[in-house]
Amino acid sequence: MTTLTAAQALSSTSGTSGPAALTGRSEYEAALRRLREASQAYYGDGDSAMDDASYDRLRLALLAWETEHPAEVAPGSPTALVADGAAPAGDVAHTTRLLSLDNVFDAEGLVAWGASVERRLGRAPAGGFTVEPKIDGAAVAARYRGGRLVRIVTRGDGSQGEDISHVIGQIDGLPERLAGEATVEVRGEVAFTQEQFEVANAVRVAHGAPVFANPRNGTAGTLRAKDRPYRLRMTFWAYGAVELEGVPFLPAGATQAEALAAVAAAGVRTTAAAGAGLHIVDDLAGAQQAVDAMAAMRAELPVGIDGVVIKLSDTAEQEAIGSGTRFPYWAIAVKLPAVERQTVLEDVVWEVGRTGVLAPTAVLAPVEIDGSTVTRATLHNPADIRRRDLHIGDTVTVYKAGDIIPRVQAAVALLRPAGAKPVPLPEACPRCGGEINTAQERWRCAKGTSCALPALIEYAAGREMLDIDGLGKTYVAALVDSGDVTDVADLFTLTLEQLTAASGSSRRAAKLAEQIEAAKARPLSRVFCALGVLGTGRSMSRRIARHFVTMEAIRRADAAEMQDVEGIGPEKAPVIVEQVAALAPVIDKLIAAGVTLHEPETSATASAGGPLDGKVVVVTGKMAGPLEGFGRTEMNALIEKAGGRAGSGVSARTSVLVCAPSASGKPSSKAVKAAELGVEVLTPEAFAELVADYLP
């Protein structure tokens, strides 16, 4: 029934919370109850007490137990049913059953599926595989008669679905008329694109309705809603076509890709047009490559995907293999890590931005999402916090994908602790204690820019930054009050008259002018630090300046490149990039004033002329040989000593990848990327030889 062993089931979702292996019948039954409860809530009003990752883990534990105790499987166990038997069935019979998909979570799982295919077919499949994105929405069947869209039906329990024809005309990619007169049922996924989701939530808010917890919940609710005073646009992507009323549609023997092409030619959007492409591959190694490629594109796609689907290309082979009660045996979904998890909102802190805007940040109980631990997430503004009805102590859904800054979507009302209080809003400016201007949705300090300015200028003039010795608190206050200094760059264009007015003496003014002139020659690390970019103190500014060498290079860096700087992770990188972009006018003024925006080579511990001079080195896997036991910190220090820079991800800028051959013989994803980009790959032993002079 399943291609998973118990051990695989429990190891494959590492990083997600949930039960460990079920140890006995009563645990099994308790887990069954929890699963049923969650799925009923999920397919009912969508407000489940479990996030998908935890739910999937619970399901896997159940499956693993059932696989090992086939005689004790509960009658009607949800694990064998489409939608776990919890979706409303409706009264429209499907033409042929509309099934779910079996899941695997990694390359090993895909190989195991390949073995099950060969076993069922009695030989290796000859027609190859088709690889499509797995759109994260709701499955529907759309029936066209004579080229006209006549009915849309939900998946339901797989045999019967609900008639949702009231949404005809609301779905992009599913036209009311086809290009020709075809009679056919197209099957596919309806979802909000990211853009449609933003619009949908804005419309909801305008109508006083709560925002959707996520695009998939929103889609399911919108498809079933009949009496809303507003309509929301969604999008359809077909992944198959079946014959309707005996009228032939596809040529005999059409492959999966040909079927999709025929659907597209008729005017319906298919999964091939979801931005991730459609790959036709000979074998599972090729399929795995396509999976990796789609996974890498995930954050940029116009619609959310939660996996990649691999199907036998040849329809005769599909038929030969057939289907189970829940899913076809000829297709498999490789699930991608969840981009949405539930965690607890512990606090909300307020920071005052450069322009005086009060920005709330959610402090969260640490949770792993999409490969990194998230502890903070953005919130928009007070009105938005109230709209989402967030309370301190709420369990909230948090969304993060790729480089996107994590954001809080919604509270799970079901899990609100008794006595929880709505998130408190500030009554005074958290920085200067002054009045708050609440006229707009984004609250600001009534002092605006000047709330932050005196502190920022004093900081910039400090010893470790621009080192303008005579510029103390009183003069700074005078310069800010007179409006002569509106940002750090203005310091460099002050006239003697302005300085005299501020300091009260032409002699002091001349001295200040001299110091300001000298400050123009400070190295980039200090000037950058003086800009006061959040999260970049002195040592971080030094690392950034050494890494990029010029201000131009810092400005050009995207979030991925920013992460190459030691100590900057996926949470911080986009924030820094965004702030640097916002500082563009100030940086332009610095350039115009002739300030040094360059980092001299001398400051680094790096030895010029070392074997890694100018090279970016990425390290992965366990070190061996002379480097045995070297952790990340030791390796980074070694690389810097030998003149190189340590990077975190393999990119076109990487010069060398140090990589131990994996125990399983399967290359790591970094090694694959390096091979694709033509980056030099060295074993730890070869690398140790290269930097032998620098080994401790």
Shortest separation between residue 387's beta carbon and ligand NAD, angstroms = 23
Asked whether position 39 contacts ligand NAD by CB under 6 A, the answer is yes
Which of positions 320-339 make contact with ligand NAD (CB under 6 A)?
Answer: 333
Among Zn ion, ligand NAD, none, the one that 432 touches (CB under a kind-dependent 5 to 8 A) is: Zn ion
Q: Residue from 34, 134, 387, 673 that binds ligand NAD (CB under 6 A)?
A: 134
Asked whether position 290 contacts ligand NAD by CB under 6 A, the answer is no
Structure tokens at 285: 């190694």
Total number of residues binding Zn ion (CB under 5 A)?
A: 6
- CA–CA gap between residue 94 and residue 240 (Å, rounded): 14
- CA–CA gap between residue 142 and residue 608 (Å, rounded): 66
Alpha carbons within 13 angstroms on the beta-carbon side of residue 370 total: 21
Residue 266: CB partners within 8 Å, gap ≥ 6?
Answer: 144, 178, 179, 180, 182, 184
Asked whether position 320 contacts Zn ion by CB under 5 A, the answer is no
Shortest separation between residue 94's beta carbon and ligand NAD, angstroms = 12
Asked whether position 55 contacts ligand NAD by CB under 6 A, the answer is yes
Q: Which of 675, 580, 682, 586 is nearest to 639 (CA)?
A: 682
Q: How many residues does the chain have?
A: 696
Shortest separation between residue 354's beta carbon and Zn ion, angstroms = 12
CB-wise, 158 or 356, nearer to Zn ion? Answer: 356
Do the annotations mark residue 54 as ligand-binding? Answer: yes
CB-wise, 191 or 445, nearer to Zn ion? Answer: 445
User: Do residues 60 and 49 touch, judged by C-beta distance below 8 A?
Assistant: no
Q: Which of 270, 96, 80, 115 is nearest to 185 (CA)?
A: 96
Asked whether position 50 contacts ligand NAD by CB under 6 A, the answer is yes
Strand pairing of 645-647 and 616-620?
parallel
Asked whether position 56 contacts ligand NAD by CB under 6 A, the answer is yes
- CA–CA gap between residue 362 and residue 376 (Å, rounded): 5
The span from the first CA to the last CA of the chain, in angstroms, equals 55
CB-wise, 9 or 38, nearer to ligand NAD? Answer: 38
Among Zn ion, ligand NAD, none, the one that 50 touches (CB under a kind-dependent 5 to 8 A) is: ligand NAD
- Residue 447 appears among annotated catalytic residues: no
238: left (phi over 0), alpha (psi -120 to 50) or beta: beta
Asked whether position 437 contacts Zn ion by CB under 5 A, the answer is no
Do the annotations mark residue 189 as ligand-binding? Answer: yes
Q: Residue from 120, 151, 416, 431 that binds Zn ion (CB under 5 A)?
A: 431
CA angle, 648 then 402 then 561, to 5°:
40
Shortest separation between residue 102's beta carbon and Zn ion, angstroms = 57
Residue span binding Zn ion (CB under 5 A) among the ranges 315-323, 367-375, 441-449, 677-685 = 441-449
Asked whether position 536 contacts ligand NAD by CB under 6 A, the answer is no
Q: Sheet holding 171-172: strands in order across?
A: 148-154, 138-145, 184-191, 234-242, 171-172
Shortest separation between residue 207's beta carbon and ligand NAD, angstroms = 26
Shortest separation between residue 56's beta carbon and ligand NAD, angstroms = 5
Residue 609: CB partners within 8 Å, gap ≥ 6?
Answer: 643
Task: Give the residues across from 378 on adjacent strands.
Answer: 361, 407
Among Zn ion, ligand NAD, none, the one that 434 touches (CB under a kind-dependent 5 to 8 A) is: Zn ion
CA angle, 582 then 441 then 420, to 5°:
110
CB-wise, 116 or 449, nearer to Zn ion? Answer: 449
Total number of residues binding ligand NAD (CB under 6 A)?
A: 24
Q: Per-residue b/e over 625-634, b at no fewer than 16 CB within 10 Å?
A: eebeebeeee
Do the annotations mark residue 429 as ligand-binding? Answer: yes
Residue among 134, 400, 447, 572 flagged as catalytic: 134
Do the annotations mark residue 529 as ligand-binding? Answer: no
H or E element in which residue 239 lies: strand 234-242
Residue 676: CB partners within 8 Å, gap ≥ 6?
Answer: none
Among Zn ion, ligand NAD, none, the one that 38 touches (CB under a kind-dependent 5 to 8 A) is: ligand NAD
The single-letter code of the amino acid at 199 is V
User: Do residues 46 and 214 touch, judged by C-beta distance below 8 A?
Assistant: no
Q: How far is CA 377 from the centre of its chain?
A: 12
Q: Which of 582, 604, 482, 596 is nearest to 532 (CA)?
A: 582
Do the annotations mark residue 340 as ligand-binding? Answer: no
Q: Residue from 287, 429, 489, 657 that binds Zn ion (CB under 5 A)?
A: 429
Asked whether position 446 contacts ligand NAD by CB under 6 A, the answer is no
Q: Residue from 9, 10, 62, 83 that binds ligand NAD (CB under 6 A)?
A: 83
- CA–CA gap between residue 643 and residue 694 (Å, rounded): 10
Contact flags string 153-192 toward ligand NAD, x per CB under 6 A: --x---------------------------------x---
- CA–CA gap between residue 171 and residue 238 (Å, rounded): 12
393: phi then psi, degrees, rounded to nearest 5: 95, -10
CB-wise, 192 or 239, nearer to ligand NAD? Answer: 239
Q: Where are the beta strands (DSSP E) in 58-111?
A: 92-93, 103-104
Structure tokens at 160: 């019967």
Shortest separation between residue 693's beta carbon and ligand NAD, angstroms = 53
Residue span binding Zn ion (CB under 5 A) among the ranges 160-168, 201-209, 296-304, 451-459 = 451-459
Shortest separation between residue 404's beta carbon and ligand NAD, angstroms = 20
Structure tokens at 320: 């030969």
Do the annotations mark residue 558 as ligand-binding? Answer: no
Do the annotations mark residue 48 as ligand-binding? Answer: no
Asked whether position 130 contacts ligand NAD by CB under 6 A, the answer is no
Asked whether position 276 contacts ligand NAD by CB under 6 A, the answer is no
Asked whether position 357 contacts Zn ion by CB under 5 A, the answer is no
Q: What is the DSSP letter of 634?
A: H
Shortest separation between residue 342's beta carbon and ligand NAD, angstroms = 9
Do the annotations mark residue 670 as ligand-binding? Answer: no
Helices (H), 156-274: 194-206, 215-224, 256-265
Among ligand NAD, Zn ion, none, the one that 135 touches (CB under a kind-dependent 5 to 8 A) is: ligand NAD
Asked whether position 340 contacts ligand NAD by CB under 6 A, the answer is no
CB-wise, 53 or 244, nearer to ligand NAD? Answer: 53
**Maximum alpha-carbon separation in the chain:** 98
User: Do residues 432 and 447 touch, judged by C-beta distance below 8 A?
Assistant: yes
Asked whether position 432 contacts Zn ion by CB under 5 A, the answer is yes
Q: Which of 112, 130, 128 is nearest to 120 (CA)?
A: 112
Do the annotations mark residue 52 as ligand-binding? Answer: yes
- CA–CA gap between residue 245 and residue 658 (Å, rounded): 60
Footprint of Zn ion on this chain (CB under 5 A)?
429, 431-432, 434, 445, 451
Footprint of ligand NAD on this chain (CB under 6 A)?
38-39, 42, 48, 50-52, 55-56, 83-84, 100-101, 103, 132, 134-135, 139, 155, 189, 239, 271, 309, 333
Q: Which residues are annotated as a binding site?
A: 52-56, 100-101, 132, 155, 189, 311, 335, 429, 432, 451
Q: Which residues are annotated as a binding site for NAD(+)?
A: 52-56, 100-101, 132, 155, 189, 311, 335
Active site members:
134
Q: Which residues are annotated as a binding site for Zn(2+)?
A: 429, 432, 451
